[in-house]
Amino acid sequence: MPVDKERLEQFRDYLRLVARLHLDVRLLSKLDVSDVVQETLLRAVAAVDDFQGETPDEVAAWLRKILLRQLIDEFRRYGQVKRDITLERTIDGLANSSNQLEEWLVAPDSSPTERVQRNAELLRLSAALAELPVLQRDAVELHHLKGLSISEIAEQMGRTCPSVAGLLRRGLAALRVKLSIENDRYLPT
């Protein structure tokens, strides 16, 4: 299946989510994640002839690599990262944030059919998260994808614990509606 501009566009919300999960909160205030993703997609379009993969997994992995290079460029631009070993942790972190998304949806020993379904669900989840109000989206991502406690999120967001709990509750309820999930199979409670 050839990779074209339209197919790459399907990964925009996914890349935004991965970038938000990967970036330090201090950089989020300096960077526009949408700009980083736009530049990533422009780089992908320019390099599409060099891409050898075919499956959605391969496209996602290729785009994550391009996103990583873009994020490293942004880190350097803001003077946050010099040439040091933390770049290797950055690569692991990007893979881990993507793996956390995938763990929500399907067991790692899934069949090819389940993988295709998982990729479709990842794209739907990314799009649904992108539609949430910013505070709800941030709370859901920080708690369920980054693994922060409610008190850690409250401190980071400058809110109270009950406020964060409410954001989480409303965000998950909205995701369930958006994804039309009756049995809560894909969302933690």
Same domain, 90 and 37: yes
> Which has the higher per-residue pLDDT, 156 or 161?
161
Give yes or no for residue 149 having a pLDDT over 90. yes
Residues 21 and 92 in one domain: yes
| 38 shares its domain with 78 | yes
| Digit-coded pLDDT (tens) for 79-119 | 644 444 444 444 444 445 445 544 544 445 666 676 667 77
Rounded average pLDDT over 47-66: 87
pLDDT given for residue 116 in this prediction: 65
- The residue from 109, 144, 177 where one domain ends is 109
Instruction: Answer whether residue 74 is part of any domain.
Output: yes
Alpha carbon 123 to its chain centroid, in Å, reads 10
The number of residues in the chain equals 189
- On whether both 75 and 136 belong to a single domain, the answer is no
Same domain, 96 and 150: no
Tell me the two tokens of residue 147: 């693994």
User: In Å, how far are 1, 15, 33, 126, 144 from 19, measured between CA atoms?
Assistant: 26, 6, 7, 12, 16
In a domain, 166, yes or no: yes
User: Where is the domain boundary, 109, 140, 174?
Assistant: 109
Please check whether residues 157 and 101 belong to one and the same domain.
no
Number of domains in the chain: 2
Looking at the fold, whether 81 and 163 belong to one and the same domain comes out as no
pLDDT(10) > 70: yes
Three-class secondary structure of residue 107 per DSSP: coil
Mean pLDDT of the chain: 78
Give the pLDDT confidence score for residue 20 in this predicted structure.
84
The whole model's pTM is what? 0.67
Report how far residue 142's alpha carbon sits from residue 22's, in angstroms, rounded to the nearest whole number. 11
Cα–Cα distances in angstroms (integers) from residue 40 to residues 18, 69, 86, in the given order: 12, 9, 21
13 and 70 in a single domain? The answer is: yes
Are 165 and 73 found together in one domain? Answer: no
Query: For residue 89, what pLDDT is reported?
Result: 43
Asked whether residue 102 falls in the same domain as residue 167, the answer is: no
Tell me which residue range forms the domain holding 82: 5-109
- DSSP codes of every residue in 128-163: HHHHS-HHHHHHHIIIIIS---HHHHHHHHT--HHH
User: pLDDT-based confidence at 136, cuts 50/70/90?
Assistant: very high
Contacts of 107 (CB under 8 A, 6+ apart): 114
Q: What is the CATH number of the domain that holds 150?
A: 1.10.10
Is residue 83, in this structure, part of any structural domain at all?
A: yes
